[in-house]
Amino acid sequence: HQLNNLWPEASSVSEIVKSLPHIPEGTIKPTLSQQLKNEGLVSQDDQSRYFIPNHVLHGLNLENPSTPPTPQRNTSGVSKKTHVKNTSKNTATKLDLVRESWEKYIEPLDHPGNYLERSLLVLKIAKDNGHDEGISPAEIEWFLKEKIKRPIDVKNISYVLGKSSSAVCDREKKGKSFFYRIMSEGERIVEKYLANKLEGKQL
């Protein structure tokens, strides 16, 4: 910044030393010839005098170098703030089921449509795996998507289970979600669905 005060005239080393009496001469010379010149912050003319190139001047705050840049303001005079969008998404709850318990049902679970039957079948498998408290539509959706690769939208699962009678499936609200358990009539629907599938009938 002291060199900046010498602009626009180029100055010799001796002139710069005189203008900076509080800085030792042994510090100024190596700073000019090595650090500042090597970094392109100063240049020399044909008389070996030092000057600050125009491209460096444009990058300097000439009015008050010690003052930090003023934040950009919008038309209302309020400083702009960077808003970071929350891109995180709520992931469906995983359903931990032993593969041996559902592997034999891959074909009927993979059949398109049949939203109620497939949802009830997942409820039955979950019950056989010790999920006595029931499971949520989000867990059913995750299982069909990640394990069977034939997903049903969670809204459709909620709809078909929600409109079923309590004899088909029981439900209990926990927090913001309903948790479903298969009941006796639901078991019969699943048995019929599996029987038709095994017999090769159109479902």
Residue 29 resides in a domain: yes
Residue 35 resides in a domain: yes
- Any idea what DSSP says for residue 169? E
What is the pTM for the complete model shown?
0.54
Which tokens belong to 71?
């934040």
Query: Are residue 18 and residue 103 in the same domain, yes or no?
Result: no
Query: Are residue 48 and residue 108 in the same domain, yes or no?
Result: no
Handedness of CA 122, 128, 129, 130 (dihedral sign): positive
Residue 203 resides in a domain: no
Average pLDDT over residues 72-88: 49
Residue 147: domain span: 99-198
Average pLDDT over residues 144-162: 95
What does the mean pLDDT of the chain come to?
77
pLDDT band for 62, please (50, 70, 90 cuts): very low
Query: Are residue 116 and residue 25 in the same domain, yes or no?
Result: no
How many domains would you assign to the chain?
2
pLDDT value for 169: 97
Residue 25 resides in a domain: yes
pLDDT band for 9, please (50, 70, 90 cuts): low
Query: Are residue 133 and residue 44 in the same domain, yes or no?
Result: no
Residue 86 resides in a domain: no
Q: Cα separation of 172 and 165, whole Å?
A: 13
82-122 residue pLDDT tens? 444 443 344 447 898 989 999 999 999 999 999 999 999 99
What are the beta bridge partners of residue 182? 169
Query: Are residue 106 and residue 15 in the same domain, yes or no?
Result: no
